[in-house]
Amino acid sequence: MQLNSISVIGGGAWGTALAQALALGGNSVVLWAREPEIVEDINKRHVNRVYLPGVDLDHRIRATADLKEAAAANAILAVVPAQHMRVVMATMARHLADGVPVIVCAKGIERESGKLMGEVVAEAAPRAQLAILTGPSFAADVARGLPSALTFACRNETLGRALAAALSSRQMRLYWSSDVLGAELGGAVKNVLAIAAGIVEGRGLGTSAHAAIVTRGFAELRRFGEAMGARSETLLGLSGLGDLILTCGSTQSRNMSLGRALGEGRALQDILGARSAVTEGVYTSAALVRLAREKHVEMPIAEAVHSIIEGRISVDDAIADLMQRPLKEED
């Protein structure tokens, strides 16, 4: 499949990194950003100093603040923060041609509706063909051309395989999957669990506790995913276990680093106020817990994170509650 034009919607770290990866693969890319200073920085200096400092961007990336201009492409990567995805895509949908692939690259659950990003885009831009790009990847690594392997989920196998091949490069390898739901769930849930892993590190609870929280967190992810209808092999793959391991294992993750700051005793609003980028797990946690309760799925770690974020319980009390839960079989 030949992609003559590609647009990336979202000028944050991940959107800029994806634009860079596509440009390094030989594509000309239009990058939409809402901030005029980001557009100017990319077009005049070939950098994004706000969201991706220290990376020289390929000259084949051209930035714009015009959604109509960005919509005139034969493939769209939607990298808008989860809680803003609906508004941006509904605005863009007026300018999209019928059948244009829209590839969702944001990870999260819409707080008000409880819907995943694929569902949000399908409602906001119903004439588009939906796909999901997700998996273990840090923006800084991808932008620098370091190797990565991701999941490319699309229910239409012919389209999915063709797009995965067209977007893959020497630096970025894409594996096609038909399990759109499973691919999205891993990316959304791991953000909340990464906050828990960060809290463990910030509180100085040790590597044994870190291993325990990641493993039991994955058990929660699998229970929730299977209750929602995801395939277990998807949850065990790049978009599930792979993304969880990466995000819980490094403070390059905004969610993990936020959790560490909480564990160190800093106030949530102070942490968020010092950041320019969105920390998705903070906003996804409420929707995740609500959905889990509706599905009668036990997710005590996710519940604890949500309670800490809402200010209903202290970090120490949340840890004590988890450790004092009734003993049971691991499975």
Q: Burial code of 123-150, b = ≥16 C-beta within 10 A, e = fewer?
A: ebbeebbbbbbbbbbbbebbbbbeebeb
Structure tokens given for 273: 């106020």
- Average pLDDT, integer, range 105-131: 97
Indicate if the pLDDT at residue 312 is higher than 90: yes
Higher-confidence position of 186 and 330: 186
CA distance 88 to 83: 10
The secondary element (H helix, E strand) that includes residue 102 is strand 101-104
Q: Per residue in 135-180, pLDDT tens?
A: 999 999 999 999 999 999 999 999 999 999 999 999 999 999 999 9
Indicate if the pLDDT at residue 114 is higher than 90: yes
From the list 223, 227, 123, 133, the residue with the least C-alpha distance to 183 is: 133
Structure confidence at residue 327 (pLDDT)? 86
The segment(s) of the chain belonging to CATH 1.10.1040.10 are 185-323
Q: Please indicate, yes or no, whether the overall pTM of this predicted structure exceeds 0.75.
A: yes
The percentage of the chain sitting over the pLDDT mark of 90, rounded to a whole number, equals: 95
Structure confidence at residue 277 (pLDDT)? 85
Structure confidence at residue 29 (pLDDT)? 97
What 3-state class would DSSP assign to 162?
helix
CA distance 75 to 130: 10
Q: Per residue in 271-281, pLDDT tens?
A: 999 998 889 99
Indicate if the pLDDT at residue 40 is higher than 90: yes
Structure confidence at residue 32 (pLDDT)? 98
Indicate if the pLDDT at residue 2 is higher than 80: no
DSSP string, 17-59: HHHHHHHHTT--EEEE-S-HHHHHIIIIIS-BTTTBTT-PPPT
What band does 329 get if pLDDT is binned at 50, 70 and 90? confident
Which amino acid appears at position 139 of this protein? A
Structure confidence at residue 331 (pLDDT)? 73
Structure confidence at residue 328 (pLDDT)? 85
> Which residue bears the tokens 């509650």?
321
The segment(s) of the chain belonging to CATH 3.40.50.720 are 6-178
Q: Per residue in 66-77, pLDDT tens?
A: 999 999 999 999
Fold entry, domain 185-323? N-(1-d-carboxylethyl)-l-norvaline Dehydrogenase; domain 2 (1.10.1040)
Structure confidence at residue 3 (pLDDT)? 83
Structure confidence at residue 122 (pLDDT)? 97
Give the residue numbers annotated as catalytic, written as ranges. Answer: 190
Which amino acid appears at position 4 of this protein? N
CA distance 268 to 260: 11
Q: Per residue in 239-280, pLDDT tens?
A: 999 999 999 999 999 999 999 999 999 999 999 999 988 899
Q: For residue 242, what is the DSSP state?
A: I
DSSP string, 121-140: HHHHSTTSEEEEEESS--HH
What band does 41 get if pLDDT is binned at 50, 70 and 90? very high
Q: What's the CATH number of domain 6-178, 3.40.50.720, 3.30.230.10, 3.20.20.10, 3.30.70.930?
A: 3.40.50.720
